[in-house]
Amino acid sequence: MSLTRSTYGERAKRHPNLAAKALLETIERKKSNLCVSVDVTSPSDFLNVIDVVDGLQNSHPSQTHVDIIEDFDPSLIDRLTNLSKKHDFLIFEDRKFADIGNTVALQYSSGVQKIASWSHITNAHPVPGPSIITGLKSVGLPLGRGLLLLAEMSTKGSLATGSYTEEAVRMARAHSDFVIGFIAQRRMEDVARDDTTSDKEDLLILTPGVGLESRGDSMGQQYRTPEEVILESGCDVIIVGRGIYGKSSDVDVQAVQAQAEKYRRAGWEAYEKRLA
* Closer to ligand 5BU by Cβ: residue 48 or 155: 155
122: enclosing H helix or E strand: strand 121-124
Annotated active-site residue in 45, 54, 94, 236: 94
Q: Are 136 and 108 in contact (CB under 8 A)?
A: yes
Q: Are 115 and 108 in contact (CB under 8 A)?
A: yes
* Closer to ligand 5BU by Cβ: residue 37 or 59: 37
The least distance separating ligand 5BU from the CB of residue 245, rounded to whole angstroms, comes to: 8
Does residue 96 have an active-site annotation?
yes
The span from the CA of 136 to the CA of 222, in Å, is 29
3 state SS of 121: strand
Nearest residue to the partner ligand 5BU, using Cβ: 241
| Binding flags for ligand 5BU, 137-176, as an x/- string (CB under 6 A) | -------------x--xxx---------------------
Is 209 a binding residue for ligand 5BU by CB under 6 A? The answer is: yes
Does residue 30 have an active-site annotation?
no
Q: What residues numbered 33-62 form the site for ligand 5BU, per CB under 6 A?
A: 37, 39
The least distance separating ligand 5BU from the CB of residue 94, rounded to whole angstroms, comes to: 6
Is 183 a binding residue for ligand 5BU by CB under 6 A? The answer is: yes
Is 204 a binding residue for ligand 5BU by CB under 6 A? The answer is: no
The span from the CA of 210 to the CA of 265, in Å, is 14
Radius of gyration of the chain (CA): 17
Residue 72 identity (one-letter amino acid):
F
CA torsion through residues 272, 273, 275, 276, sign: positive
Is 269 a binding residue for ligand 5BU by CB under 6 A? The answer is: no
Instruction: Give the other-Cβ count within 10 Å of 218's Cβ.
Output: 5
Based on DSSP, count helices (H) and strands (E) in the chain, helices before strands: 10, 8
Region near ligand 5BU per CB under 6 A, out of 25-33, 81-89, 190-198, 234-242: 234-242
Residues at the binding site are: 39, 154, 221, 241-242
